[in-house]
Amino acid sequence: MTTRDGTTREKVLILDFGGQYTHLIARRCREAGVYSEIVPFNISPEEVGRYGNVKALIFSGGPRSVYEDGAPHPNRELLELNIPVLGICYGHQLLAEKCGGRVVRGSKAEYGRTTVNLVGDSKLFSTLPKRIEAWMSHGDAVLEPPEGFKVTAVSEDNLIAAMENPEKRLYSVQFHVEVKHTPLGREILRNFLKNVAGCKFDWRPLDTLGEMVRNVAETVAEYEKVICGVSGGVDSMTTAAIIQRAIGDRLHVIFIDHGLLRKGERELVLESLRRLQIENIHFVDASREFLTALKGVRDSEEKRRIIGRLFVEVFERTAADIDGVKYLAQGTIYPDRVESGATGALTSLIKSHHNVAGLPERLGLKLIEPLKDLYKDEVREIARALGLPSSVIDRHPFPGPGLAVRIEGEVTAEKLRICQEANAIVEEEFRRAGLYGSVWQAFAVVLDSRWVGVKGDARSVGHIVVIRAVTSEDGMTADWYPIPAELMDRISRRITNEVEGVVMVAYAITSKPPATIEPY
């Protein structure tokens, strides 16, 4: 039988009911070794069949109440396919409602860390202690389990925290097994995948490398060329490396320096491209053009718009000089493409890459996106196998508009210099302390506000630099990171001593929400 992806690989489908953790569920399955994809909540049984070897369905969380008008419900027939189902949070309530149980607005809402008592002998919990810590986020509750179901976990408030019908292979949990605040959640998910769904755990992202290279080689005819824009980030560099493997010197790489890169980044990217033996590198130093266009512009959104527009212009100009190009390769990855949760409005939508939106259409090129089904960690694994340097692979995320988003108000040459130097110091000191890999991002921001400084007897005013460090799993939410005092002290001293024009270093201690990670 021909499946959607042409393979018989075992997979789990996650029905997206709009929960904020849908991508996390998919990632956790893959980390365990089972390939998973996010699908619209209203997927039909026939469509499920087209996926081929589907070992389980997972119903995600979601913001609605199952009994509300217009609330998303799955096709009832999915429960008759004899495919195991795991419902999580809203998914747990759906399963109850669909099978004839009772879901009501809970007398008490449960949010955050809770303790759950495991009762009975569920295959989900067989390896766990009888009391576990679990992350809850719900106002509704299952009051009565459906007929044929037994309760397998109870919360502190005596609400049904898990239930199952083992004969029908239907299982559900009120708490979120996919978040790290449920420390044994991964084990529960693994137990479901192993003991209930009978998965073989054979997903290895690296196995797809050969497939990706072959696909590109088969897609692009022998006389055709591919252009690929690189930013220095792991996604675009890995894309370039894959295309290079597939078609060699018919790959043309475009690298535009908009002047807002991190210190030493230009050299690092060029050196990495050379090491990948990419022959056709079109490097454009457009920094002067970008800085001129940004002159006098103070508004953040306006800055982003100007940078985005100019980037497309420079890219088009550069691409126009290369003959015989038929394809544009982009480093789009799975979460770029499949939105879920609050932004996905209950269906899995396709979004264009936010930094270079519209480029393929404007250039009249067909798109190649070899990484489109992978998560960042999986891309990193492939990047390692392709020989990319760890300085590229493990580098913190960096926004497309570059340091412009870390400079308050106008991007002047002075503030840009301060921002570059200060960011380099933060990065260097985090690495030296062995903490670079412990945070999602750590960076420096330059404010317009000044602080009065003293040097000997002389007074001078200087800029304020704000240090921000956060931990995060996907950038959607983030916790501020408590930088050890000695490291903070070293960073602060070095910035005020070494970066001319800075008098004060401050420390941002707010999580996301309410504050975004990047300030502007």
State the nearest-atom distance from the C-beta of 335 to ligand XMP, in Å.
11
Q: Are strands 150-155 and 160-165 parallel, antiparallel or unpaired?
A: antiparallel
Q: Is 178 a catalytic residue?
A: yes
> Whose Cβ is closer to ligand XMP: residue 75's or residue 355's?
355
> Whose Cβ is closer to ligand XMP: residue 309's or residue 354's?
354
Q: Could you tell me the sign of the dihedral formed by the alpha carbons of 474, 476, 477, 481, in that order?
A: positive
Quick note: the x/- pattern for ligand XMP over 465-504, rule CB under 6 A, is ----------x-----------------------------
Applying CB under 6 A, among 126, 127, 292, 516 the residue interacting with ligand XMP is 516
Applying CB under 6 A, among 155, 355, 423, 492 the residue interacting with ligand XMP is 355
Q: Is 89 a catalytic residue?
A: yes
The full length of the chain comes to 520
Spot the catalytic one: 178, 339, 408, 429. Answer: 178
* Span interacting with ligand XMP, options 78-86, 204-212, 399-407, 502-510, rule CB under 6 A: 399-407
Q: Is residue 225 involved in binding ligand XMP (CB under 6 A)?
A: no
Q: Is residue 517 involved in binding ligand XMP (CB under 6 A)?
A: yes
Q: Is residue 265 involved in binding ligand XMP (CB under 6 A)?
A: no
As a whole number of angstroms, the distance between CA 404 and CA 412 comes to 10
DSSP category for residue 101:
-
> Whose Cβ is closer to ligand XMP: residue 110's or residue 339's?
339
State the nearest-atom distance from the C-beta of 441 to ligand XMP, in Å.
6
State the nearest-atom distance from the C-beta of 306 to ligand XMP, in Å.
13
Q: Is 279 a catalytic residue?
A: no
Spot the catalytic one: 23, 176, 258, 353. Answer: 176
State the nearest-atom distance from the C-beta of 475 to ligand XMP, in Å.
4
> Whose Cβ is closer to ligand XMP: residue 162's or residue 470's?
470
> How many helices (H) and strands (E) in the chain?
15, 20
Q: Is residue 401 involved in binding ligand XMP (CB under 6 A)?
A: yes
State the nearest-atom distance from the C-beta of 412 to ligand XMP, in Å.
20
Give the H or E element holding residue 35.
strand 35-40
Q: Is residue 518 involved in binding ligand XMP (CB under 6 A)?
A: yes
Nearest-10 crossing angle of helices 376-385, 22-32: 40
* Span interacting with ligand XMP, options 9-17, 71-79, 283-291, 392-400, rule CB under 6 A: 392-400
- Tell me if 355 sits within 8 A of 308, measured CB to CB: yes
Strand segments (E) across 286-365: 325-329, 338-339, 349-350
Q: Is residue 72 involved in binding ligand XMP (CB under 6 A)?
A: no
State the nearest-atom distance from the C-beta of 61 to ligand XMP, in Å.
21
Applying CB under 6 A, among 315, 400, 423, 425 the residue interacting with ligand XMP is 400
- The tokens describing 414, both together, are 């002075």
* Span interacting with ligand XMP, options 46-54, 219-227, 359-367, 511-519, rule CB under 6 A: 511-519
DSSP category for residue 504:
E
* Span interacting with ligand XMP, options 217-225, 343-351, 394-402, 459-467, rule CB under 6 A: 394-402
- Tell me if 60 sits within 8 A of 26, measured CB to CB: no
Q: Are strands 150-155 and 35-40 parallel, antiparallel or unpaired?
A: unpaired
Q: Is residue 16 involved in binding ligand XMP (CB under 6 A)?
A: no
Residue 294 C-alpha from the chain's centroid: 29
C-alpha distance from residue 462 to each of 74, 380, 420, 468 (Å): 59, 40, 16, 19
Q: Is residue 146 involved in binding ligand XMP (CB under 6 A)?
A: no
Q: Is residue 399 involved in binding ligand XMP (CB under 6 A)?
A: yes
State the nearest-atom distance from the C-beta of 343 to ligand XMP, in Å.
12
- Tell me if 254 sits within 8 A of 245, measured CB to CB: no
> Whose Cβ is closer to ligand XMP: residue 130's or residue 305's?
305
- Tell me if 286 sits within 8 A of 259, measured CB to CB: yes
Give SS3 for 299: coil
Our CA angle for 1, 203, 178, nearest 5°, is 115
DSSP category for residue 419:
H
- The tokens describing 127, both together, are 């390896």
Q: Is residue 145 involved in binding ligand XMP (CB under 6 A)?
A: no
> Whose Cβ is closer to ligand XMP: residue 189's or residue 405's?
405
Rounded to 5 degrees, φ, ψ at 55 are -90, -25
Q: 432: number of CA atoms within 13 Å, CB side?
A: 12
Give SS3 for 236: helix
- The residues that bridge with 86 in the sheet, in sequence order, are 58, 171
* Span interacting with ligand XMP, options 8-16, 106-114, 262-270, 396-404, rule CB under 6 A: 396-404
Q: 308: number of CA atoms within 13 Å, CB side?
A: 15
> Whose Cβ is closer to ligand XMP: residue 204's or residue 354's?
354
Give SS3 for 152: strand
The 3-class SS string of 314-365 reads HHHHHHHCCCCEEEEECCCCHHHHEECHHHHCCCCEECCCCCCCCHHHHHCC
Applying CB under 6 A, among 40, 45, 52, 397 the residue interacting with ligand XMP is 397
Q: Is residue 512 involved in binding ligand XMP (CB under 6 A)?
A: yes
- Interface residue list for ligand XMP (CB under 6 A): 354-355, 397, 399-401, 405, 441, 475, 512, 516-518
For the annotated catalytic residues, the residue numbers are 89, 176, 178
